[in-house]
Amino acid sequence: MNRPTILAALGSLALISACSPPAQKTETPVMTPAAEASVAPAAPAIDPAVEPAVDPALDAYVRTYAKDDALPLRYASATHGEGAAQLTFVYLIGPEYCGSAGCSLLVLHRMGDTFDLLGKVSTVDTPVRVLETTTNGRPDLAIRTRGEGVSIVDKLIPFDGRRYLWSPNVAGARDIQNPGGQIVLTDDTPKVTVRAQ
């Protein structure tokens, strides 16, 4: 290609560039909250460690047990053992059940879809433990309670043949050091709300 032809070609290109519209700048679209909501990922599944699965029979029992009590009411529950030796623990949390020394603990034995109340222990703090020792055919419990002032004491709660002792401060209950056993309820045990305030 000779020099005049090259110059002519360059001139044509310059003319085409000058006449072409400027390149469009591409911007990422800004999403409105409504648009963001429409493309948001699905909510994660409920974590059982945070929101426990509710046992319908136990929940019905607790609601009936506490039907006339003050709001709010929550509970934590745990099961220990199997068959005739199985115990269900319900730690009630609410104005009717809690004081400065702790809350109330129901000890139940399940019979199908119903429960037999084996004891209501007052002024219980966590952890609640099931011990390896037994009294009158049922395992001893170790509960934590607040003593005089701010002292915290572990107490052994035996079964008297009909019921677990109703308080860690009555005859038959005793202080226990390093209780061991199996922890069944702690402060971190997930709670079920029966009635909100």
**44 falls within a domain:** no
Per the structure, how many domains does the chain have?
1
Q: How many residues are given for the chain?
A: 197
Coil/strand/helix, residue 35: helix
**143 falls within a domain:** yes
The number of beta carbons lying within 10 Å of the beta carbon of residue 74 is 18
Look up the pTM and report it.
Answer: 0.71
pLDDT value, residue 147:
65
**186 falls within a domain:** yes
**176 falls within a domain:** yes
What is the 3-state composition of the chain as percent helix, strand, coil, each rounded to the nearest 5? 20, 40, 45
pLDDT value, residue 122:
93
**159 falls within a domain:** yes
pLDDT value, residue 4:
47
φ/ψ of residue 109, rounded to 5: -120, 125
Cα–Cα distance for residue pair 72/98, rounded to 1 Å: 11
Mean pLDDT in each 10-residue stretch from start to end of the chain (197 residues)? 47 45 46 39 39 84 85 90 91 90 93 93 94 95 80 91 92 90 94 77
**123 falls within a domain:** yes
**164 falls within a domain:** yes
pLDDT value, residue 119:
96
Structural domain including 139 reads 56-195
**35 falls within a domain:** no
Cα–Cα distance for residue pair 93/74, rounded to 1 Å: 5
